Structure 1
């Protein structure tokens, strides 16, 4: 915004109705981009799993103005940083230009998250930037799907693109496209995603033009400035409810996939007035494997954690203004070239959020909750289908349990901490790939015990129906379960197992991470996802609620007694007297 435009915007007085309508209009522009991208995309990970996001960003600063409601929250911050990287490198942008970038060190995540950034012009002048992110099922690298659990440098993870102009005034650059397609698997299927991603930005261009035509650029500018100011005020008001002080939280990544040792996230949160200061200097040093996190992802993880804690604060750049994050230089949370990073967005980001939850829970325990499952459960399978004669790359994510809270039990099979992505419908997967799901069920008992228990994760079993394939996993919470809160127990852990048709069984040595496992027709992959952490003392759980869980098959009687000190009569009814006695004994002990 120029000085003259800024002064004009300050002079414009917006009535509440107009401000609300413009706010909804900006949101609607992003929502329509989301829908256009979703409906046109070829890859199920985008069209069904919803691993994508769209937003509007400031023409000069690249700051977030609005983002689609159905996009991944972790992209809230990272697309702001990647748009800023494009702005810094763009030379003479023109209408119809589209930049492509996936470089993790330039405001990115992992290489599979491909950003498109389009300058938006209104009446001949640059007004804003439109951007989106889509998870491509493959972007090269040493294993199909890009989730290399043992990469030791970023080049092993795939093709890295700095901001380059893929579309020039609406015309795709076939030479750049050929370079990309020559370095990725199943390239013939990616053109559908490229066109869908670009088309979503075109939809945004048309809808934002219509909004500006209706209200005028000056009025919309004034609304954007006011919405940013109000979001900051609302976040500051929420932060003010936290007592001043310094709070510390901890979370652990199972391992980096190369060295079988946990990585520590040490989160110190200092609250002063209406500001929060985050320091992670005590975290583990950079690691050899792909669990390093780039700075954009680290910061975005803290943004989304605070949005989880205060969900009613609207989302734009003003929301982040009171959050001051010290660069965690010298730790695995500030990856620099050539550190591998494939696990940062899907896994490390969730551990960062957990560390924030762990710290803030000490200050406002009634607002926090047991930790959620905290893993996207990344499972990539690449192989050849003899029936179709074509190669394929399948990418699956899976849900897990949410943590219990002050008022309710945690949700079972919920999406990950970082997004709204969901498991691709099993019928779609079986139709597109040579596999069969032999099980998809709740992981009973995986919710952490508490006054309000955690939700349950899931079990699934995938059998290779034909051909040969290579499986890779980048998951987490296999070493420890999600933390409980206020005396609640941790949730159940992640588990992965390969069961071969000849009876052999393989358990990954790093529990939740492995790559390039050769499997053939008849072999199966079995996965259990974590449950959520419990909230409050399990001895305070309503015995009738425990009975309800037993009747549904979530626990058997011995487990209910062990975890909640609830006893049953011989005919399976609640033994009130024995339950009271058991609980008194446990409290005394």
Structure 2
């Protein structure tokens, strides 16, 4: 359904507000139940515990977003509608109980590990919409366990790439396609659990959506969908109208592409004109050799999720994005085309794009914005063989970081990444599933960027392999510079990675927080520090009592308090007013 068709339908069929709200919540509930079913049935901790997945409902005609679950990753909101469009174009004979699989990043995707399932939803013999979900598989083949190759120079090195094909044909799993998949990925015998969980979630959605249509009728639900889309567009336009007209510029940097040790620049130019916005990134760095290229679906989705962070109360559907116009950044690393490698696009580059949006709009609406968050998913993969259990494994770890300070207060500590609600898997679960031992899991003290409102703190963790041998790979970011402070605030603390070997030697990645194929054995310790959030406002404007409280909690040392915030403390940790005045020049 196009926007014009949606508007016509919305104009022609008025639905009372109560019914409209009930249907809106009913559509969201269908997605929420798919999310929960997926999480509870999935085998991999990255899905069941970290919730690195999403479920949604998409229009039959153009794949436009109708609804997404409250527990879905924001970065998948935009990409899945582009993926659904690609399926609609390529699968010409959808039938009831079919399930199409695809992970091709150039067809509305992210990276190869985000595997998408699509189920055509028929109601009384008519194709009504598509149900779709994305799940992060711990491995899809490629150069390194886990798929996060830091040095890939073409997509084939990153893993198995699947075009849209029917994995389930009228409810029956195709054994030949399954055999192809299992023959090209690691720990293949464990993937069948995730495959069945992902398909089962869509079947739950089919049942729940059928019940909703049985209750209200197909025409009423169609009209409600059209009205909800029109209202979301109207509300987003009203929000944009509160931003002063003008052109605003911001930038953000990716440390490097993992192959060439030079930063990649995202140049963001935002033009606000009345009720519409245009985003131009055409001056960004050219395509890169390494895996930090971003496919266009991810680039667009990154802008969408940034705006949803700024205006969180706008309901989520295709109408939300209609006033947002994105100039395709062809010729840059933000418009990846085959065979450019892309494993870092969704997890890292997307967050730099959002950071550039925040940096630009802080100049326009500073009271509604915030300093940059940690902006890294901290992708760490460890693959090896467990001699006790007699089987191979791939462990994938994501980690949180600090949020940026804002006008009303300090940033959140160890929050999830900008692109999603994914949380770190519990240490106890990881130690149960895999032969690893965590030695440290604590705050990255001192990493919160100084400001009138300081940034939140990142995370320190350290782990080792208990038995056997393994290979470690990581694709992280913000190792060269920390997340940006704003309005005089200081940058947050950067990401750090180090491996301390049992023989006393140490290894730090040449590309700061990107490396692959590091041989790890018992006694070797991997240490990671995630970024803290940027500071908001001048550090010397921070309330001295808050600085003293931070020092008492061990967040900063007394020396850091004096240097960063201009606050002097006596031996008892009490603010020395006279010395503080001298430090601050007041």
Class of the TM-score when normalised by the shorter of the 2 chains: over 0.9
Counterparts of 1:329-478 in structure 2 under 5 Å? 329-478=330-479
Question: How far, CA to CA, are the matches of 1:333 and 1:6 in structure 2?
Answer: 32
Match of 1:231 in 2: 232
Match of 2:199 in 1: 198
Question: How far, CA to CA, are the matches of 1:381 and 1:9 in structure 2?
Answer: 51
Question: Residues 397-426 of structure 1: CA distance to partner in whole angstroms, max 9, x if unpaired?
Answer: 000000000001000000000000011010
SS of match in other structure, 2:363: coil
User: How far 1:568 sits from its partner (Å)?
Assistant: 1.5
- Matched-pair contact (CA < 8 Å) for 2:6–2:226: no
SS of match in other structure, 2:66: strand
Question: How far, CA to CA, are the matches of 2:211 and 2:406 in structure 1?
Answer: 43
User: How far 1:6 sits from its partner (Å)?
Assistant: 8.8
Question: Residues 419-474 of structure 1: CA distance to partner in whole angstroms, max 9, x if unpaired?
Answer: 00011010000001000000000001100000000000010000111100000000
Match of 1:139 in 2: 140
Question: How far, CA to CA, are the matches of 2:257 and 2:432 in structure 1?
Answer: 34
- Matched-pair contact (CA < 8 Å) for 2:6–2:230: no
SS of match in other structure, 1:517: strand
Match of 1:111 in 2: 112
SS of match in other structure, 1:160: coil
Question: Residues 210-252 of structure 1: CA distance to partner in whole angstroms, max 9, x if unpaired?
Answer: 0000000111011100000010011001100111111110000
Question: Residues 281-306 of structure 1: CA distance to partner in whole angstroms, max 9, x if unpaired?
Answer: 11000000000000000000000000
Q: Extract unaligned runs of 5+ from structure 1.
A: none
Question: How far, CA to CA, are the matches of 1:387 and 1:472 in structure 2?
Answer: 23
Question: How far, CA to CA, are the matches of 1:476 and 1:553 in structure 2?
Answer: 26
- Matched-pair contact (CA < 8 Å) for 1:258–1:288: yes
Question: How far, CA to CA, are the matches of 2:9 and 2:238 in structure 1?
Answer: 28
User: How far 1:7 sits from its partner (Å)?
Assistant: 6.6
In angstroms, what is the RMSD of aligned CA positions?
A: 1.2
- Matched-pair contact (CA < 8 Å) for 1:457–1:529: yes
- Matched-pair contact (CA < 8 Å) for 2:9–2:226: no
- Matched-pair contact (CA < 8 Å) for 1:376–1:398: yes
Counterparts of 1:60-71 in structure 2 under 5 Å? 60-71=61-72
- Matched-pair contact (CA < 8 Å) for 1:466–1:522: no
User: How far 1:582 sits from its partner (Å)?
Assistant: 1.4
User: How far 1:548 sits from its partner (Å)?
Assistant: 0.7
SS of match in other structure, 2:366: coil
Is the aligned partner of 1:11 residue 2:3? no
Question: Residues 143-167 of structure 1: CA distance to partner in whole angstroms, max 9, x if unpaired?
Answer: 0000000000000000001100101
SS of match in other structure, 1:441: strand
Q: Extract unaligned runs of 5+ from structure 2.
A: none
Match of 2:513 in 1: 512
Question: How far, CA to CA, are the matches of 2:322 and 2:14 in structure 1?
Answer: 24
Match of 2:304 in 1: 303
Question: How far, CA to CA, are the matches of 1:540 and 1:235 in structure 2?
Answer: 34
Is the aligned partner of 1:218 residue 2:204? no
Question: How far, CA to CA, are the matches of 1:465 and 1:295 in structure 2?
Answer: 41
User: How far 1:384 sits from its partner (Å)?
Assistant: 0.5
Question: Residues 112-150 of structure 1: CA distance to partner in whole angstroms, max 9, x if unpaired?
Answer: 000000000000100000000000000000100000000
Match of 1:582 in 2: 583
Question: How far, CA to CA, are the matches of 1:581 and 1:6 in structure 2?
Answer: 63
Question: How far, CA to CA, are the matches of 2:466 and 2:331 in structure 1?
Answer: 46
Match of 2:182 in 1: 181
Question: How far, CA to CA, are the matches of 2:14 and 2:565 in structure 1?
Answer: 59
User: How far 1:8 sits from its partner (Å)?
Assistant: 6.6
Judged with a 3 Å threshold, the aligned counterparts in structure 2 of structure 1 residues 236 and 7 are, in CA distance, closer, same or farther, namely closer
User: How far 1:572 sits from its partner (Å)?
Assistant: 2.8
- Matched-pair contact (CA < 8 Å) for 1:8–1:218: no
User: How far 1:4 sits from its partner (Å)?
Assistant: 10
